[in-house]
Amino acid sequence: MNITTVFSPALYPYCKRSEQYICVVVDILRATTTMCTAVEFGAELIPVSSVEEAREYKRKGFLVAGERIERTLDFADFGNSALLFRTDEIKGKTIVHTTTNGTRAIALAQDYKPKQTVIGAFSNINALKDFLVKAGCDVEILLSGWQNTFCLEDTLFAGALSTMLFNEGFTSKDDSTFAAVDLWNAAKEDILQYLEKASHIHRLRKAHFDDVFQYTFTLNTCRCVPVLRNGKIIKA
Amino acid sequence: MNITTVFSPALYPYCKRSEQYICVVVDILRATTTMCTAVEFGAELIPVSSVEEAREYKRKGFLVAGERIERTLDFADFGNSALLFRTDEIKGKTIVHTTTNGTRAIALAQDYKPKQTVIGAFSNINALKDFLVKAGCDVEILLSGWQNTFCLEDTLFAGALSTMLFNEGFTSKDDSTFAAVDLWNAAKEDILQYLEKASHIHRLRKAHFDDVFQYTFTLNTCRCVPVLRNGKIIKA
């Protein structure tokens, strides 16, 4: 089983693709961390790429969560912080979700017809590792980045997950995966301290969205693996 | 003075660009290492993106150096190994140069109108650092990668150069630059040992082009800074 890491949606067309693979979509700050929490607390999500689609769903009576560039959409019921979804009130609810980077990466991944698309975050990393080991096929880790640029927090996650998968017999021939592992090794003793240099940390702090950092970088607060099925993100 | 690193030509349209900057083009294995050597030994180069352009120059009587995917072009006078250019026989000659990744990155860089385009390799890193410090403006380090994917050897160079520039008062807000510096720190004690995991090392070894590795990763064998001027790469 082979691991490939893709640092940005803009690089996705160029990655060497297996016949059959599971795509792990990652947007640590904040979309995929939020998705794991929402699914853990019993919601299902409809990820959409555009604000217009989200607005259309809202008109039809759906709950909507979403943001663009650190601003909650004015018509949304929820923002894009995982902390908002740690409530049993969302149990059994369907929530439409759109974000700057993460939900677009999910849509992009579908263009290449993965066997499955799953959602990864530090909060569900152990459950995700178990899921991927059990599936036993190649893995592509697609990082959402920030508006198509490389970002550190997604890369650290790819390094952490790859390290766990290497320990389970996975391999890689991919420079991005090896780089992610080495960056994870540099960061793992104190992730938040390491990420002080990350640009998106500063962007979110400026927008007063830094309350989610501690939760985001705590491993294994969720036991679920969200998967995309028929356009919805549900518990595997 | 600010440093931005771009891991692949495919990411170049998305990088946050300064008003005025010098673009450092990097393709360590092998184009920019070869360029530094050729210019050091007194040649000037005409970098071209396509095999067709190179063939047209050949028809007009120019010397041509070039390869595509580890194969020397059948009509070329030189391949793409720096070792071929360590000879006084090239002094004063003009050589047309085309490669899989590096010469295309040079062409791409021109679309964004940098103040200057210069050529970087481990072989001229100290001279390049001095040149950039003296110029005193923002720096973009454009890595050629491998067919638009991320590659380790170019990234290590970006990390090494950024470390030297940080010591001279340059700054960065760029996740890619910080990642490159941390990877350089992981690799610098034994670059070749570190790069055993790099995919392009294996690709070149398979093509029996590994004789150039030792030279490529030896720092400061050249004192020149090749710059692009009127379509030619010449000594600054």
Q: Which residues of A touch B199 (CB under 8 A)?
A: 173-175
User: How many C-beta atoms surround the C-beta of residue B16 within 10 A?
Assistant: 12
A175, A191, A204: best to mutate for the B interface, most B CBs within 10 A: A175
Give the one of A8, A152, A197 whose C-beta lies nearest to B11's C-beta. A8
Alpha carbon distance B144, B49 (integer Å): 13
- The chain B residue lying nearest A202, using CA atoms, is B173
Q: What is the DSSP letter of B210?
A: G
**Number of domains making up chain A:** 1
Q: Which residues of A touch B182 (CB under 8 A)?
A: 182-183, 186
At residue A93, what is the residue type? K
The answer to whether the CB atoms of B179 and A176 lie below 8 A apart is no
Q: What is the DSSP letter of B197?
A: G
Residue with tokens 């006078």: B77
Chain A residues near any Cβ of chain B (below 8 Å): 7-8, 10-11, 13-16, 147-152, 155, 173-176, 178-179, 182-183, 185-186, 197-200, 202
Give the one of A152, A178, A186 whose C-beta lies nearest to B152's C-beta. A178
Q: Over pLDDT 90: what percentage of chain B?
A: 88
Q: Look up the domain containing A227 and give its range.
A: 3-235
Please choose, from the candidates B12, B32, B49, the residue with its C-alpha nearest in 3D space to the C-alpha of residue B153. Answer: B32
Rounded to two decimals, the pTM is 0.95
Alpha carbon distance A212, A83 (integer Å): 7
Locate all alpha helices (DSSP H) within B69-120, ordered by sequence.
Answer: 102-110
- What is the sign, positive or negative, of the torsion defined by CA atoms of A41, A141, B176, B152? positive
Give the one of B8, B176, B199 whose C-beta lies nearest to A174's C-beta. B199
Q: Average model confidence (pLDDT) for chain B? A: 95
* Residue at B130 is within a domain: yes
Per-residue pLDDT reduced to its tens digit, B133-176? 999 999 999 999 999 999 999 999 999 999 999 999 999 999 99
Give the one of B10, B152, B179 whose C-beta lies nearest to A155's C-beta. B179
pLDDT of B190: 96
Q: What's A19's domain CATH number?
A: 3.90.1560.10
The answer to whether the CB atoms of B148 and A175 lie below 8 A apart is no
Grade residue B192 by pLDDT with cuts at 50, 70 and 90: very high
* Residue at B186 is within a domain: yes
The answer to whether the CB atoms of A198 and B183 lie below 8 A apart is no
In Å, what is the CA distance from A175 to each residue of A132, A212, A233, B149?
21, 31, 30, 9
Alpha carbon distance B151, B167 (integer Å): 25
The answer to whether the CB atoms of B150 and A179 lie below 8 A apart is yes
A113-126: burial string, b at 16+ Cβ within 10 Å, e else: ebebbbbbbbbbbe
Per-residue pLDDT reduced to its tens digit, A157-178? 999 999 999 999 999 999 999 9
* Residue at B49 is within a domain: yes
Q: Which residues of A touch B11 (CB under 8 A)?
A: 8, 10-11, 148-150
Q: Which residues of B touch A15 (CB under 8 A)?
A: 149
Instruction: Name the phi and psi angles at A77, rounded to 5.
Output: -85, -25
pLDDT of B70: 82
Give the one of B14, B149, B199 whose C-beta lies nearest to A149's C-beta. B14
Grade residue A4 by pLDDT with cuts at 50, 70 and 90: very high
* Residue at B42 is within a domain: yes
Give the one of A14, A183, A197 whose C-beta lies nearest to B10's C-beta. A14
Per-residue pLDDT reduced to its tens digit, A49-106? 999 999 999 999 999 999 998 889 999 999 989 999 999 999 999 999 999 899 999 9
* Residue at B231 is within a domain: no
Q: Which residues of A touch B174 (CB under 8 A)?
A: 199
Per-residue pLDDT reduced to its tens digit, B93-142? 999 999 988 999 999 999 999 999 999 999 999 999 999 999 999 999 99
Q: Which residues of B touch A182 (CB under 8 A)?
A: 182-183, 186
The answer to whether the CB atoms of A15 and B176 lie below 8 A apart is no
Contact predicate B168/B129, CB 8 Å: yes
Alpha carbon distance A157, A151 (integer Å): 11
Q: DSSP letters along A163-200, please? A: HHHHTTT-B---HHHHHHHHHHHHHTTSHHHHGGG-HH
* Residue at B236 is within a domain: no
Alpha carbon distance A166, A150 (integer Å): 23
